[in-house]
Amino acid sequence: MDASALNFTDVSKVYDGAGSAERYALRDVTFDIAPGKTVAIVGRSGSGKSTLLHLAAGIDVPTRGSVAVYGAALNGLGETERTRLRRRDIGFVFQLFHLLPHLTVRDNVALPDLIAGVRERTYRERVAALLERVGLPDRAGDPVAGLSGGEMQRVAICRALLRRPRLLLADEPTGSLDDASGQVVMDLMLQMVAEEGATLVYATHSRELAAMADRTLRLHSGILEAESDASE
Ligand SMILES: Nc1ncnc2c1ncn2[C@@H]1O[C@H](COP(=O)(O)OP(=O)(O)OP(=O)(O)O)[C@@H](O)[C@H]1O
Ligand SMILES: [Mg+2]
């Protein structure tokens, strides 16, 4: 088993500011997350939470430092290989769901396989099992547009887990939901990553939702401040 699910070593992300000023979205961030752990990323708006998740997903590349997912350094990979690793190992859940409203619930969950040209009989049972797991088997044939926000996020979680990623990343997955449905979605996501044996890293503004993780990483203006680890 790999020693590390996600490793950041001295990672900085710099954006060009007005004039010649450099703006650090992340500054010398170093941490290591063991496989199977759940980790909450907290910090004020603009502190770098989304930047950290995008670097972890290989959606974006660091200015300096290295990011490794299950031992594979993303920096060393070309665009094509990084995309392949992302599709195989990483699932991503966005705040605003990023679903295709006119497609059915079933097709939204199957989307990564549909795009990859995987045959329907290969993913049919997996999609059905995931929708069963999140309590939406009866909605499989409905267009996503008719669902509530909480239901949409449950569909988005199914889609992110479709290919059994080892690392699930979620950027304020309950940020568009009210407290009650946010709690339901978070509970479900934690249960499902435990069942699948995946590692979960999620950004949240909520103290309650952060407390549900094994560990919290706190960002302040791009700097990793303090850590608490409830499990050790
Ligand atoms: N593409 C970009 N170009 C320039 N600056 C950026 C870009 N993306 C992010 N930033 C800056 O980097 C910093 C961190 O942004 P980030 O989106 O990671 O924060 P966040 O913690 O996710 O905030 P929020 O809680 O509001 O989502 C901010 O100052 C932001 O303005
Ligand atoms: Mg953000």
**Which value, to the nearest 10 degrees, does the dihedral of the CA atoms of residues 77, 81, 83, 87 take?**
-120
Q: Whose CA is nearest to atom 5 of ligand 1?
A: 15
**What is the architecture of the domain spanning 6-229?**
3-Layer(aba) Sandwich (3.40)
pLDDT at 232: 44
Is the distance from the beta carbon of residue 204 to the nearest atom of ligand 1 less than 6 Å?
no
Nearest CA-CA partner of 42 in 150, 172, 157: 172
Determine the average pLDDT of the residues in 101-124: 94
Structure-model confidence comparison of residues 222 and 3, the more confident one:
222
pLDDT at 179: 87
Determine the average pLDDT of the residues in 137-146: 96
* CB distance 158 to 185 below 8 Å: no
Looking at every residue in the chain, the average pLDDT score rounds to: 92
How would you classify the pairing of strands 64-69 and 6-16?
A: antiparallel
Is the distance from the beta carbon of residue 47 to the nearest atom of ligand 1 less than 6 Å?
yes
pLDDT, tens digit, for every residue of 195-217? 999 999 999 999 999 999 999 99
pLDDT, tens digit, for every residue of 88-103? 899 999 988 789 999 9
Structure-model confidence comparison of residues 78 and 69, the more confident one:
69
Q: Whose CA is nearest to atom 3 of ligand 1?
A: 15
pLDDT at 43: 96
Neighbours of ion ligand 2 (CB under 5 A): 49-50
pLDDT at 172: 94
Looking at the predicted structure, is the pLDDT value of residue 36 above 50?
Answer: yes
Q: Kindly list the domain boundaries of the chain, sorted by start residue.
A: 6-229
Structure-model confidence comparison of residues 86 and 33, the more confident one:
33
pTM: 0.93
pLDDT at 78: 86
How many other CB atoms sit within 10 Å of the CB of residue 146?
11
Structure-model confidence comparison of residues 21 and 227, the more confident one:
21
2 CA distance to ligand 2 middle (Å): 29
